[in-house]
């Protein structure tokens, strides 16, 4: 599975590329988990705030695809009616084999936080070097469902 890898202090996030329309630089501080922009009807979700890592500096925004996205989309509507995941710097684009991605045990499904992840990857290799940290695979579909229709958090 091809993902964008975004490192935090003790873990990394993997955001599946298949759900991302484009990546933007983002330099504003986000103090809320969810912020709704009424002008363009965009919903910004701060992954550092959601994961309780407010010290992580947001550097990138990942504009998630809408179900009706097409390749020749007009640039003027590209940043309207979108969900945008704000994250720390995207370190790389990497391919994780499916057999390296482990599902969360069902017992963890009682914790709402576990639902925003599709799985976990241990002992991930980055640039050919074995890294002992874990990588959490984000579930963008569930994340959108969780915050659909919310304004501020």
Give a yes or no: residue 152 inside a domain.
Answer: no
pLDDT for the residue numbered 101: 86
Q: Does 111 score more than 60 pLDDT? A: no
Give a yes or no: residue 26 inside a domain.
Answer: yes
Q: Does 22 score more than 60 pLDDT? A: yes
Q: Show the domain range for 11.
A: 2-147
Alpha carbon distance 78, 144 (integer Å): 17
- Nearest-Å Rg of the Cα atoms of the chain is 15
Give a yes or no: residue 105 inside a domain.
Answer: yes
Alpha carbon distance 121, 137 (integer Å): 8
What percentage of the chain has pLDDT greater than the value 70? 75
Give a yes or no: residue 135 inside a domain.
Answer: yes
Give a yes or no: residue 90 inside a domain.
Answer: yes
- Residues 14, 135: contact at Cβ < 8 Å? yes
pLDDT for the residue numbered 153: 44
Average of per-residue pLDDT values in the chain: 81
pLDDT for the residue numbered 72: 47
CA distance readout (Å), 126 to 17, 94, 95, 120, 129: 17, 8, 10, 15, 5
* Maximum mean pLDDT: which of 26-40, 61-75, 110-124: 26-40
- Report residue 152's pLDDT band, with 50, 70 and 90 as the boundaries: very low
Residues 146-150: contacts with CB under 8 Å, at least 24 apart? 146/115, 146/116, 147/34, 147/43, 147/45, 147/83, 148/43, 150/34, 150/36, 150/43
Give a yes or no: residue 129 inside a domain.
Answer: yes
Tens of pLDDT along 2-14? 999 999 888 899 9
Give a yes or no: residue 153 inside a domain.
Answer: no
pLDDT for the residue numbered 80: 87
Burial of 77 (0-12, 13-18, 19+ CB in 10 A): exposed
Q: What domain count does the chain have?
A: 1
- Report residue 103's pLDDT band, with 50, 70 and 90 as the boundaries: confident
């Amino acid at each position: 599975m091809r993902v964008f890898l975004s490192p935090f202090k003790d873990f990394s996030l993997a955001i599946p590329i298949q759900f991302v329309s484009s990546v933007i630089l983002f330099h504003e501080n986000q103090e809320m988990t969810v912020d709704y922009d009424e002008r363009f009807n965009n919903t910004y979700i701060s992954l550092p705030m959601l994961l309780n890592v407010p010290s992580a500096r947001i550097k990138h925004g990942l504009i998630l695809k809408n179900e009706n996205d097409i390749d020749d989309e007009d640039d003027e509507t590209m940043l309207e009616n979108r969900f945008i995941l704000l994250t720390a710097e995207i370190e790389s684009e990497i391919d994780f084999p499916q057999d390296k991605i482990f599902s969360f045990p069902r017992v963890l499904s009682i914790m709402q936080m576990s639902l925003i992840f599709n799985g976990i990857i241990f002992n991930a290799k980055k640039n050919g070097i074995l890294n002992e940290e874990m990588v959490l695979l984000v579930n963008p579909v569930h994340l959108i469902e969780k915050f659909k229709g919310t304004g501020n958090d």
